[in-house]
Amino acid sequence: MDRNCVGSRGKARSSVRTYDDAKAVADLDRRYSTAQLVDQRRRVREIIGARTGEAGLDVGCGPGFLACELAAEVAPAGRIVATDTSSHSVDATAARAEKRGLAGIVKVQVGDAASLEFPDDTFDFVVGTQVYCYVSDVGRAIREAARVLRKGGRLVVLDTDWDYCAWRSSDAALTRRMVAARGARQFAHPHLPRELHGLFLGAGLTLADAQVFSMIETRYDPDLFGVESIQGTCEAALEDGVPAADVAAWEQDLRARHADGEWFFCLNRFIFTATK
């Protein structure tokens, strides 16, 4: 994925996971195989509605799951370009495309969402999933996506508003503080969905659709997003000044919720579509 580790006010976000080494990309690969993210990609692909022969751009492609799935939909005459700031992610995408027999359809390259190296009017669609929240100059990045779209092309953006993240816990106020710390430390734009309509208008695009994608968990499962997110949230909270004792108590409370009826987690992601 395309990660920019400096926030909109120039504040370094040291806990941002940049996925710029092979081990981190392998971890991302594992998580992208979970049922939650398989379902998320299916939903995104349905909204994109890729057709045979189309040209698409996947901005911040990560390990290349979505790029390869889209390539299968535009084949045999279409093409998908997959970009990422991480060379390891680009290499992983290329390897995935090769393994799936899609190397002739998927082109991969290192690239910056805010400075796309493509001519105007190149693509039928551009997609960015959990990408633009990391880009400091997100307005420029959206304008770049609009620039490379052909007339009538569509831009699909999926991102999280971290105000819509909830765990069941014994201390609701502390949970809100923990989530706020994660948003502040790990993202340049932790509430990006509420900005997207205006950003689209500023780029000369028209909002066509907005939907919500919810991750809802009712059982403790280490492979699901809610449990996996505990550690990163704790790390961000410590960096943001939450007392270590409070962080430890919060983590202990959540990790003890193994019994039926004890675990609840919900996160809302939003999928916006704009047309040119």
Radius of gyration of the chain (CA): 19
Token reading at 2: 């395309």
pLDDT for 21 equals 61
Band of residue 87 on the pLDDT scale cut at 50, 70, 90: very high
Please, are residues 67 and 61 in contact by the beta-carbon 8 Å criterion? yes
What number of residues does the chain have? 276
Closest-CA residue to 108 (of 140, 69, 62): 62
165-223: per-residue pLDDT in tens? 999 999 999 999 999 999 999 999 999 999 999 999 999 999 999 999 999 999 999 99
Determine whether 251 is exposed, middle or buried from the number of CB atoms within 10 Å of its CB (0-12, 13-18, 19+): middle
CA of 97: how far to CAs of 72, 79, 85, in Å? 10, 12, 18
State what percent of residues in the chain have pLDDT above 90. 88
Domains of the chain: 22-275 (3.40.50.150)
pLDDT in tens, 49-59: 999 999 999 99
